[in-house]
Amino acid sequence: MPGVSEMNIREKNLWLFDVDNTLIRDVDHPDVFQDALRLWNALKTKGKTNAILTNVGRLSSRQIHDVLESVGFHTEIEKTFSAGAAAAAYVHNRSPGARCFVISEGGATEDFVSRGLNVTNNPPIEYVAVAADRGLTFAELNFATKMVREGAQLICISGSFEYRGVYLGMEDVYIGERSIVAAIEHATGVTSVVVGKPLPEIFTETMTILGFAADDAVMVGDNPASDIAGGNAAGMTTILVNRDSENIVQFDSQGHDLKPDIAVNSLEEIIELL
C-alpha cells in the first residue's frame, strides 16, 4: 500500500534534481546514472518541468548546464541553479549591485557577474563570497579576512568540508569552501552565512523563479543532509535515491528533518509511480 505522497507523486509538476551522485557521478566525472536519465525522460514525456538545484559552486550555472546537456539531460540554462547562482541571488535580494570579492575557480564569479553584482578585487567590499577554489592564494585569503574584519558580510557558497574531484589533471580529495571559510571565521570571529542546500530559502527562491508552489514540487537527491533536509524544510515532497555512500558529500543539515517522503534504490521505482 503506497503512502499518501507516493499516490500523489504523479500530480507534481516541478521536479528539482540534484546533480552529483544523483544524475551523474560528479561534474568532473559525468558518468550517467541510467535510472536517473530514464526518470528524467519519462517526466519530460509527461510534460513535467525538470530543473537543477546543485550545491556545486566551483562551476557556474552555464557550465553545469553544459556538462548535463553533453550527457543527455536536456533542459534550459534558465532552469539550472548552481550554488553560486543561489548565493548571487541571496546577495542581490539584499543589496542589488553590491561590491563583492569572490573567491572561486571562475564559476561562481560568472554567476555573480550574470546577476549584475559588482565583482571587484579592491575595497570597499560589502560581501566576501567564498566558493571552492583549488588555486586559492594566501593574498586572496588574507584580503578576504581583512575585508570581513572591516565589516564585509561573509558568504560561504555551498558548504562542503571536502569533496572528490579532478584539478589540473589530478584526482584527489580536496578541501571544500566550508573549510576555507572556517579559516576566515577563526581569524575574524565572524560567522558566515552558508548559501547552499539545505538552506530553505534557496529552494523557495528557485520554485518562485520557476513559478511553482512547494506543494506542486519534488526534490530528488542522494544526500539526506542537503537535498532532503532542505526540500523538507521548504515544504516540498522529497525523494532520496540510495547511491554509493562513498560519494555522498558531507554538509551540515542545520537541524532540519532528514527523513525523505520516499526512499528508493533506483529511480526506476519512481517511473512506476507516474
What residue ranges bind Mg ion (CB under 5 A)?
18, 20-21, 222-223
Nearer to Mg ion, 160 or 237 (CB): 160
Cis before 124? omega within 30: yes
Burial 198-232 (b: 16+ CB within 10 A, else e): bbbbbbbbbbeebebebeebbbbbbbbbbbbbbbb
User: Which residues are CB-neighbours of 179 under 8 A, at least 6 positions away?
Assistant: 161, 162
Nearer to Mg ion, 63 or 223 (CB): 223
The minimum distance between CB 227 and Mg ion, in angstroms, equals 7
The minimum distance between CB 99 and Mg ion, in angstroms, equals 32
The minimum distance between CB 108 and Mg ion, in angstroms, equals 18
The minimum distance between CB 190 and Mg ion, in angstroms, equals 29
Dihedral over alpha carbons 225, 227, 229, 232 (to 10 degrees): -170
Nearer to Mg ion, 87 or 148 (CB): 87
How far apart are alpha carbons 19 and 222 in whole angstroms? 9
User: Which residues are CB-neighbours of 142 under 8 A, at least 6 positions away?
Assistant: none
Q: Does residue 120 contact residue 158 with C-beta atoms inside 8 Å?
A: no
Q: Does residue 117 contact residue 98 with C-beta atoms inside 8 Å?
A: yes
Nearer to Mg ion, 35 or 222 (CB): 222
The minimum distance between CB 221 and Mg ion, in angstroms, equals 6
User: Which residues are CB-neighbours of 149 under 8 A, at least 6 positions away?
Assistant: 187, 188, 190
The minimum distance between CB 115 and Mg ion, in angstroms, equals 24
How far apart are alpha carbons 202 and 130 in whole angstroms? 17
Cis before 198? omega within 30: yes
The minimum distance between CB 240 and Mg ion, in angstroms, equals 11
Nearer to Mg ion, 188 or 223 (CB): 223
How far apart are alpha carbons 139 and 155 in whole angstroms? 18
Question: Grid cell 556545486 — which residue?
Answer: 56
How far apart are alpha carbons 35 and 37 in whole angstroms? 6
Nearer to Mg ion, 188 or 238 (CB): 238
The minimum distance between CB 29 and Mg ion, in angstroms, equals 13
Nearer to Mg ion, 82 or 153 (CB): 82
Nearer to Mg ion, 56 or 128 (CB): 56
